[in-house]
Amino acid sequence: MVADPSTAVVLPDPVPVVDLDGRVFTPCTPEKARQNVEQGLAVLEGGVLRLRYRPLAYRRAVRRVLRRDGYRCAWCGGFGSTVDHVIPVCWGGRTVPDNLVVACRACNHSRHNALPSVFLGWTGMRPTHPVILRVLRDEARLVQEALAALDRRPVESCLSKEEAQVWAARHSGTDAALRLEPPGTSATKVRTTRTTVAYIP
């Protein structure tokens, strides 16, 4: 047991971890537990770290999308075993089937946080997946709506840790890397490289 000077709470080492539904996860160090609490991603209750996001629901969503798309990369058509957010998580994209497609590791990795139109501009790919086509039809508006919704919704709506971290950064207003402006706004300057994209106000 170690005393936590920041909260005067005595934390076990390691700290037990559960999710919102009480499911048990791998325990973490007191330092990690404190970080999670500081970021708003979890609360400490009686020496137990309770995550405020939903990792099991995330895994269920991934399995559902892999089955729906038959392990075929929605970008290049090759074999895919990862799931890709069409509107990226850092732009407010949610982990729901309407925003997910299967991707191969190469497409997922090289796209990184690029919006679909930007990625297709680099690669010249012509995907036919309905989720991608729907986003492409109205990408700027959908991104604006996703970011606005992210600012309104509770952290409990996040499934993955990545989503919860983006949520925390937006809500703390301290993360310069997430000062994103949707494409098409007048103050937006676009800088792209082969693997990264940043929209800088």
- Tokens 């993360």 found at: 175
Does position 75 interact with Zn ion (CB under 5 A)? The reply is yes
Which region among 12-20, 37-45, 102-110, 126-134 touches Zn ion (by CB under 5 A)? 102-110
> How does DSSP classify residue 12?
P
Residues in CB range of 53: below 8 A, 6 or more apart:
19, 20, 41, 155, 156, 158, 159, 160, 161, 163, 164
- Directed axis angle between helix 130-137 and helix 116-123, to 10°? 110
Which region among 22-30, 58-66, 77-85, 191-199 touches Zn ion (by CB under 5 A)? 77-85
Does position 104 interact with Zn ion (CB under 5 A)? The reply is yes
What number of other Cβ atoms are within 10 A of residue 67's Cβ? 10
Rounded Cα gap, residues 69 and 101, in angstroms: 7
Of 57, 76, 118, 125, the one binding Zn ion by CB under 5 A: 76
State the minimum distance, in angstroms, from the CB of residue 82 to Zn ion. 9
Which region among 45-53, 87-95, 98-106, 161-169 touches Zn ion (by CB under 5 A)? 98-106
State the minimum distance, in angstroms, from the CB of residue 108 to Zn ion. 8
State the minimum distance, in angstroms, from the CB of residue 192 to Zn ion. 19
**Size of interface with Zn ion, in residues (CB under 5 A):** 6
Rounded Cα gap, residues 77 and 26, in angstroms: 36
In the complex with Zn ion, the residue whose CB is nearer, 100 or 159, is 100
State the minimum distance, in angstroms, from the CB of residue 32 to Zn ion. 34
Rounded Cα gap, residues 92 and 170, in angstroms: 10
In the complex with Zn ion, the residue whose CB is nearer, 10 or 106, is 106
Of 73, 86, 102, 132, the one binding Zn ion by CB under 5 A: 73
Of 37, 107, 131, 180, the one binding Zn ion by CB under 5 A: 107
Structure tokens at 135: 């986003």
Cβ proximity of 116 and 131 under 8 Å:
no
Residue numbers of the site for Zn ion (CB under 5 A)? Answer: 73, 75-76, 78, 104, 107
